[in-house]
Amino acid sequence: MPVKLDVIPAGAGIQYLAATASAVHNAAEELTMVTLYRYPFAAMGSRCEIRLYASSEETAAACARAAIDDVLRLETKYSRYRDDSVTAAINRVAQAGGAIDVDAETATLLDYAAACYEQSDGLFDLTSGVLREVWSADRRELPDTDTLQRLLARVGWSKVRWQRPRLVFGFPGMEIDFGGVVKEYAADRAATLCAEAGFRHGLIDLGGDIKIIGPHPDGTPWAVGIQHPRIKEAVMATLDLFEGAIATSGDYERFVEIDGRRYSHILSPRTGMPVCGLAGVSVAAPECVVAGSATTIAMLMEDRGAQWLDEVGLPHVWMDQQLRVGGTYA
Amino acid sequence: MTLAARLIVIAAVVALLANAGCATVQPWERGTLAKPVMAMEEPAHETAQKLRTYSAKEGGAAATGVGGGGCGCN
Amino acid sequence: MGAISPRLAALTAAAMALPGVHARAADAPGEHPWGVDATHLEYSESGNRMRVRVNQASAVVPIGESFQLKANGIQDLMSGASPVFNAPGPGGKTQQVLTGASVFDNRKAGDIGASASIGDNQLTLRQGWSKENDYKSTWTSLEGKRDFNRKSTTLAVGFAFSNDGVSSHDAPDDFRTRIKRDFFGGVTQIIDERSLVELSVEYSYSNGFLSDPYKLVFVQSAGLLRDARPGRRRQTAVTVKYLTYVPAIDSSLQAVGSLSTDNWGIGSGALELQWKKELPGEWLVNAGARYYTQSSADFYAPLYLTPPGDAHSSDYRLAGFGSIGWIAGVTKQLTPNFSVQIAAERSYRRAGLRSGGTGIDADNYIWGLYLVTLQARF
Amino acid sequence: MLQSDTPGLERTRMRVTRGRLTSRLAVALLAAVGAIAAVPTARSLTNGDPAPACSAPLLDGNRSVNLAEYRGQVVYLDFWASWCGPCRESFPFMNELQRDLADRGLQILAVSVDKTAEDARRFLARYPAQFTVALDVAAACPSAFQLQGMPSSYIIDKGGAVRAVHAGFRNRDRAEIRQQLLDLLGGGAK
C-alpha cells in the first residue's frame, strides 16, 4: 500500500476543521463584528445621541434604552418646569422659607454644587436662578439697577444652610436650579450603565456634553469638533478623545439681543448681569460633571476665566470676544 | 546526524554562550517581550496533545519537561 | 491627566461621590485567575489507519496568592487499523500488514497537581493516572523553577517517575511492568529587548517490558515472531528554543531545534519554525513547519531473512524515517474572560528523509491533528 | 542483504559519535547556566536613600513635572506601562488612595515607560486614572531608580527620602502601602 502524496483524500480532519472553524468563526464574528448603532433623542432641552459599537442590534438597543430612561428620569426629577419634580418641591419650601430633607442622590448633587461654589469663589451658585425673572428671552432693554438689587438680595448659596440631608432657607423668595450639573451628571451615568453592561466602544452626547465609553474598536480615538462661537458651521478645535469627557459652554448657545449687543444666558450672582468674558470654552476631564462645571465657572470668571482654567490644570480650549483662541489644545 | 541539524545546534549553543554575559534587559525595557506573540509558553492543551503525538509516532525525544501519562498508543 | 491641582482634586473628589459617575474597572481576569480549558481534538492517519477522538478538560484554582490547585482529565476514543508487521510483497517490495478493520479502545487519563510560588521560586507536584483496557499507568512529577537577575533568567529542573502495566487483548489481565525515570533541566534567558532563548536537556531511563505486544516480525522461512526489544532504554535529548520579535513585520519568529540519542541506536533531530502575529481585534495567528528525522534502532529490520538475535522489531516507529509537516493556528480573545483557539498540524512521513539506518517506503503515511480549545479565565 | 543497508561496523561508529555529541551539549548547557546566573545586578534603592532626581513630561498638556516640586509632600511614585499586567490592578488602588488621602497632602505621580503616548492612553481608556500621569519615553527616571520589576512603586517622605520600595504589585500589598502612607501623612488610620 504505497502512499502517494497527492492522492490522499483531504481526510475527515480537514472537513472537520473547516466545519468547526466556520462555526467558531461565526460565533466569533457574531461576538466581534461590531457595528456602530446610533440612538438620537431629545432631553434637557437639547439634541442628544448615544453611539454604541455592538455585535447585535438587540444588545445595543437594550443598553441605549436603559441609558435614555436614566437621562429622562433625571430630567423629570430635576426639571424646573414640572411641579412634581424634586426641584419644584425644594423651591416650594424655598419660596416660603423653611427646611426640607432631600434624598441621597440630591444630597450628593448639593455636596458637588457646594464644592463648585468654593472652587469658583462663589460664582457657581445654584440659587442664581432667581435672576431669570428679569432676563426673559423677550427682554428688549437692560433692567434697572434697583430691580437687580432686589433680585440679588434673594440670591446666594451662603444664605442657605446645608447639613446633609437637611436644606434650610433662612428667608422666603429664594430658588434652586440643578441645571448647571444635571445634564453632565446624566452623561456620566449613561456611560457607566453601558460600560458596566460590557460595552467597550462608544460615547454619550447630551447636547454637546460628551462622555466617552471607549475608543473605536480598532483603538483609534473619537474626533470631537468644538463649535466655533461665532461661525455656526465652523469648528474652533478638534480633539482626539480615547476616554473621559468634554463639555462646552459659550455665550452663543442661548442669549438675548439688546441694542445690537448679545447677552449670554449665564448670569453672574454678583452683578445679576449676563457674563461677558469668554465667547466659548471647552474643557476635558475624566468626568463629564467636572468638565461641565469647569466650563461654566470659566465663563462666570469672565476675563479671569483663562487664568482660572490654567490653575485647575485640565486640558481646555477657549475663544475670547476678540475671537482669539487659547488653552492647552490651542 | 545530518550535517544541517548538527550545524544548527552548534550555532545555537555558541550564540547562547556568547550572549550569556549580555547586557541584562532592564525590567522597564520589556515591553516587546510582554507582547502575546512573545509568550514562550504555548497553550497547554495544544502543547500536551502535540507532544503526545510526537512521542507516540516518533522514536526520538525532545527535552520538553516532565510529567504526562504514558499510553498504549500503538 | 495633567498635574492634579488642589481645585481639581476637590471637584473630582466631590464628583466621585456622585452615584454612577464611575464604572467599575472591567472584570478582566485578576492577578491569580481561576480558569477552565476545554479541548476537542481529532487525530487521523492516512490509508484509513488510526483515528483518535480526544476530549480534554482542565481547571486551575488559585488558593490565596501563592498556591494553585490543578486538575486535568483526558478521554481518547481510538479506532482503526494499525501496522503489525511487514511481509515481502510483489516485485521484491516490502509490504506493510495492518490489523483488522477496527480495533476500538477507550482511554481515560487524569492528573491532579499543586503548585506553590514563594518569592522567585515555584514548586509543582503532579500525580497522574491513565487507564485503557490493555495499558495502565501511574506517574508522579516534581518540577522547580527559579528566576534570577530580576526575572531575565529562569532555571527549571524536573523529575518524573512512571510505573506502567502493559497487557494485550489475548491476555488482558497479564500486565507486565514498565518503569520510567525522567530528569529535566532547562534555562530560559532574555537575550535582548526582542529575543529570548531556552536551552533544555532531558535524560530518561526506562526498564522492564519495553516491547509492543501487538507488533510482530516476519522471519523468512520461520514465520512470525513477537516484537522483542531490549529491557533497558537510556535516552538523552537537548532542545533549543529561540524566539525573537521582528518589528518590520510586527510578528515573532520561533525556532525550536531538538537532538536526541539513545542506547537503542536511534538518533533523532527536529526543527520547527513558526511565525506568530497579533491582528487588531484581539486575534493571534501562527503558522509554520516542522522537520523531523531519525535513524533506525540497531535491532530494527523491516523483515528478517535469517532468525534475528534476542532483540528484534519491525515497528514502524523504530525504523529510519523523516517527516515534514505544516502547523497553523488562530486564537481569538472573545471577551476579557473567554478565548477560543483552533490549531492544526499535518505531517508527511517519508522513509527517504531518514538520517540513517533502515526504513521502507511501505511505512510512509500522513497524520493530521485538528483541535479547538475554549479557555475561560476569571 | 535485506536486514540492514549499511554494514554493521560503520553503524556502530556513527552511534558513538552521536552519543558523544549530545553529552557534550549537556556540558555546554551547564556551563551556560553557570555564566548566566552569575551576572551581577546594580544595587537597588533601599529605605532612607534620598530619592534620585526625576522629571518627566505630563501625559496631557505640555508641562513637565519634577519630583522635587513635591518636596514637603508625601509622594507615591509609581512606574507603570501599558504592557504591564499587574498595573491593571494597581490603578484602581491608586484611585482609592487619591480619593481618600489627596486632601491630607498625598501626591501620586504615575510615570509610564511606554514608548508612545498612544499606548499609555489606550491603557488609561480601560483603566482610568484620577491622579497625575507622566510619560518618560526616555526612561531616565526608571534608570535613576534602578527598578527591580514592573510595576515598581516608591513611597517618598516630605524630606524627599525613599521610605518604602514595592517591586511588582500584589493585592496583599494594598494594606501595607496604605498604612505606610498614613504613617507618613500623620494622623492615625482614618
Q: Are residues A216 and A171 in the same domain?
A: no
Task: Report how far residue C198's alpha carbon sits from residue D36's, in angstroms, rounded to the nearest whole number.
Answer: 12
- pLDDT at position C238: 96
DSSP-derived pairing of the beta strands C135-148 and A325-326: unpaired
In a shared domain, residues A284 and A221: yes
Which C residues in the span 248-277 are in contact with A, Cβ-Cβ below 8 Å?
Answer: none
Closest approach of chain B CAs to the CA of D22, in angstroms?
10
Do the domain assignments include residue A6? no
CB-based touch A/B (3+ pairs, under 8 A): no
The reply to whether D128 touches chain A by the CB within 8 Å rule is: yes
CA separation for the pair C180, C206 (Å, rounded): 4
B67/C191 Cβ within 8 A: no
Beta bridge partners of C216: C226
Residues 131-190 of D with CB under 8 A from A: none
Predicted local confidence at residue C140, as pLDDT: 96
* Nearest-neighbour CA in chain C from B14: distance (Å): 12
| A187 within a domain of the structure (yes/no) | no
Q: What CATH architecture applies to the domain C6-377?
A: Beta Barrel (2.40)
Chains linked to B by 3 or more Cβ pairs within 8 Å: C, D
Facing D39 at nearest CB: one of C149, C301, C305: C149
Quote the CA–CA distance of C187 and A161 in Å, as a whole number: 71
**B37 to chain D nearest CA, in Å?**
13
Domain shared by A58 and A21, yes or no: yes
- Per-residue pLDDT at A321 exceeds 90: no
pLDDT in tens, A131-148: 888 887 777 788 888 888
Closest chain B C-alpha to C2 CA, distance in angstroms:
23
Residue that finishes a domain, picked among A128, A162, A177 = A177
User: Which residue in the set C17, C96, C369 is minimally distant from A108, CB to CB?
Assistant: C17
Measured between beta carbons, the chain D residues lying within 8 angstroms of B29 are 139
Q: Which three cell numbers stand for residue B16?
A: 547562547
Pair A42, A121 in one domain: no
**In this structure, are A263 and A300 located in the same domain?**
yes
Vertex C159, ends C155 and C162: CA angle to 5°?
155
Q: Is residue A247 a part of any domain in this protein?
A: yes
**B11 contacts chain C (CB < 8 A):** no
Percent of chain C with pLDDT strictly greater than 90: 75
- D31-53 residue pLDDT tens: 544 444 444 445 677 788 899 99
pLDDT at D1: 28
Interface contact flag, A20 C362, Cβ < 8 Å: no
Which among B13, B29, B34 has CB closest to D28?
A: B13
User: Of the candidates B29, B35, B63, which has its C-beta nearest C186's C-beta?
Assistant: B63
Give the pLDDT score at C1: 42
Smallest Cβ–Cβ distance between C11 and the set A195, A293, A328 belongs to: A293
- pLDDT above 90 coverage of chain D, percent: 41
Q: What is the spatial distance between Cα A42 and Cα A72, in angstroms, rounded to a whole number? A: 9
What's the pLDDT at B10? Answer: 57
Backbone angles phi, psi at A265, to 5 degrees: -80, -5
- All residues of chain A having their beta carbon less than 8 Å from the beta carbon of residue C92 are none
Question: Which one of A108, A119, A243, A289 would you mutate to disrupt binding with D, by most D Cβ within 10 Å of its Cβ?
Answer: A243
Round the CA-based radius of gyration of chain D to a whole number and report it.
Answer: 26
Q: What is the pLDDT of residue B69?
A: 64
Tell whether B17 lies on the interface with C, counting CB pairs under 8 A.
Answer: no
Query: Between A and C, how many CB-CB pairs are < 8 A?
Result: 146
Of D19, D26, D60, the CB nearest to C238: D26
Query: What CATH number is given to the structural domain containing A233?
Result: 3.10.520.10
Q: How confident is the model at residue D28 (pLDDT cuts 50, 70, 90)?
A: low
Q: Is residue A107 part of a domain?
A: yes
Residue A131 lies in a domain: yes
Counting DSSP H helices and E strands in chain D, the numbers are 5, 7
Question: Cβ separation of B28 and D150 shorter than 8 Å?
Answer: yes
Give the separation between CA A296 and CA A124, rounded to whole angstroms: 8
Instruction: Give B58→chain C minimum CA distance, Å.
Output: 6
**CA-based nearest distance B1→chain C, Å:** 6
Which are the contacts of C229, defined by CB distance < 8 A and separation ≥ 6?
Answer: C210, C211, C212, C264, C297, C299, C311, C313, C318
The model's pLDDT over A14-29, given as tens digits with 9 standing for 90+, comes to 444 445 445 554 554 4
Residues of chain C with pLDDT under 50: 1-2
CB D132 within 8 A of CB D124: no
Which residue on chain A is closest to D125 by alpha carbon? A243
DSSP classification of residue C228: B
Which residues, at least 6 apart from C202, have a Cβ–Cβ distance to it below 8 Å? B61, B62, B63, B64, B65, B66, C182, C183, C184, C185, C236, C237, C239
Q: How many CB atoms lie within 10 A of CB A234?
A: 10
Instruction: Compute the C-alpha angle A5/A9/A12, nearest 5°.
Output: 130
Residues A304 and A221 in one domain: yes
Residue A228 near residue A234, CB atoms below 8 Å = yes
Scan residues 20-79 of D and list those with Cβ closer than 8 Å to C.
21-23, 25-26, 29, 32-33, 36-37, 39, 41, 58-61, 63, 65
Distance between C71 CA and the closest CA of chain D, angstroms: 25
Q: Which domain holds residue A321?
A: 15-67+203-327
Confirm or reject contact between B24 and chain C (CB < 8 A). Answer: yes
Q: Are residues A212 and A307 in the same domain?
A: yes
pLDDT of residue D25: 54
Let me know if residue A29 belongs to a domain: yes
Q: Which of A82, A113, A87, A109 is nearest to A100 (CA)?
A: A87
Interchain contact A202–D (C-beta under 8 A): no
pLDDT of amino acid D24: 56
Pick from B9, B21, B35: CB nearest D25: B9
The answer to whether residues A130 and A102 belong to one domain is yes
Residues of C in contact with A105 (CB under 8 A): 18-19
Residues A61 and A91 in one domain: no
Query: Which pLDDT score, from 0 to 100, does residue D43 have?
Result: 63
Q: Which residues of C295-317 are buried (b: 16+ CB within 10 A; e: fewer)?
A: bbbbbbbbbbeeebeebbbbbbb
CA distance A290 to D125: 18
Averaged pLDDT for residues A52-57: 89
Name the residue among C13, C259, C261 with its Cβ closest to that of D102: C13
**A198 contacts in chain D (CB < 8 Å):** none
The minimum CA-CA distance between A218 and chain C, rounded to whole Å, is: 6
Global confidence as pTM: 0.70
Domain count, chain A: 2
D150 in contact with chain B, both atoms CB, cutoff 8 A: yes
Residue pLDDT, tens place only, A80-127: 889 999 999 999 999 999 999 999 899 999 999 999 999 899 999 999
Chains A and C touch (3+ CB pairs under 8 A): yes
pLDDT digits (tens, 9 = 90+) for B4-59: 555 555 555 555 555 555 568 999 999 999 999 999 999 999 999 999 999 999 99
Q: Which chain D residue lies closest to C184 (C-alpha atoms)?
A: D26
pLDDT at residue C258, as a whole number:
97
Pairing of strands C94-98, C83-88: antiparallel
Contact A3 C47 (CB under 8 A): yes
Most confident of A212-226, A312-326, C218-232: C218-232
* Same structural domain, A171 and A209: no
Clarify whether residues A233 and A309 are in a common domain.
yes
Q: Which CATH number covers residue A123?
A: 1.10.3980.10
Dump the DSSP string for A262-283.
EEES-B-TTTSSBP-SEEEEEE
* Domain spans, chain C: 6-377
Q: With a cut of 60, say whether residue D18 has pLDDT above it.
A: no
- Asked if residue A78 is part of any domain, the answer here is no
Residue B40: its pLDDT value, please?
95
At residue C100, the pLDDT reads 65
- How far is C111 from chain A, CA to nearest CA, in Å? 28
Nearest to D149 among C4, C65, C150 (CB): C150
**Residue A1 forms part of a structural domain:** no
Q: Is the pLDDT confidence value at A40 over 50?
A: yes
Check CB contact under 8 Å for A21 and C342: yes
pLDDT at A30 over 50: no
Give D88's contacts in chain C (Cβ within 8 Å): 25, 28
The whole-number pLDDT of residue C323 equals: 97
Decide if pLDDT at A3 tops 50. Answer: no
What per-residue confidence (pLDDT) applies to B12?
Answer: 56
Give A63-81 pLDDT, tens digit per residue.
Answer: 999 999 999 999 999 998 8
Contacts of A219 in chain D (CB under 8 A): 122
- Predicted local confidence at residue D62, as pLDDT: 67
